[in-house]
Structure 1
Amino acid sequence: MIKKAVRMKVFPGKQKEYEKRHEKLWPNLSSMLKEYGCISYSIWLDKDTNYLFGYLEIEDEERWIKAADTAINRKWWDYMADIMDTNMDNSPVSVDLYQVFDLF
């Protein structure tokens, strides 16, 4: 298992919408994430800064990277682009975080 953490950002005033959209995560997106080796995926919000912290556990880095090029993933990025910082291709602006401590 590989642990990953990322930082993203939701637009001010769009936190509730971000949460709402994830509460209704598309079943085929969830299936795709599992198919590409996602064991678990959690996202937290810092309400003071609008930063999102994502924590993932994946099986294989190369397989996980390929998930970005799936049609359902691109559709999700397009769907989320109006409420968060994105790149030109609508992928979320994402910063990989460096792990400095793990108790387990």
Structure 2
Amino acid sequence: MIRKAFKMKLYPGKEAEYKRRHDQLWPEMEQMIHDYGGHEYSIFLDPETLTLFAVLEIEDEARWAASAETEICQKWWASMVELMETHPDNSPVSIDLVPVFYLK
């Protein structure tokens, strides 16, 4: 498995709605994440900066990258535009983080 971590940014006042939508994650979105090799996916919020910190395990970089082209992923991204910083294609502004320490 490949461990990935990245950060994203919420808009002010959108914390509760972001959590609600993830608490009610669409079954098709959950299935797509697994189908494209995503596992152990967690997202944490720093409420002072509204920075989201995500970490997940993937099976393969290319396979995971291909998930962005799925219809369900595109639909999910479109539904999140009002809550967080996004690119013109609705994908979240996401900054990969560099691993510096891991203790198993």
Query: Which TM-score band applies after superposition, normalised by the shorter structure?
Result: over 0.9
> Match for residue 13 of structure 1?
13
Amino acid at match of 2:9: K
Unaligned runs of 5+ in 2: none
Alpha-carbon separation, structure 2, partners of 1:12 and 1:39: 29
Which residues in structure 2 correspond to 1:23-102 (within 5 Å)? 23-102=23-102
Alpha-carbon separation, structure 2, partners of 1:38 and 1:92: 17
With normalisation by structure 2, the TM-score equals 0.99
Unaligned runs of 5+ in 1: none
Alpha-carbon separation, structure 1, partners of 2:57 and 2:46: 21
Alpha-carbon separation, structure 2, partners of 1:83 and 1:100: 30
The C-alpha deviation readout for 1:1-35, integer Å capped at 9, x for no partner, is: 00000000010110000000000000000000000
Aligned length: 104
Runs in 1 of length 4+ with deviation above 4 angstroms? none
Alpha-carbon separation, structure 2, partners of 1:81 and 1:56: 22
Alpha-carbon separation, structure 2, partners of 1:103 and 1:71: 37
Amino acid at match of 1:79: S
Q: What SS is found at the alignment partner of 1:89?
A: coil
* Root-mean-square deviation (Å): 0.5
Q: Aligned residues: percent identity?
A: 53
With normalisation by structure 1, the TM-score equals 0.99
Alpha-carbon separation, structure 1, partners of 2:73 and 2:97: 22
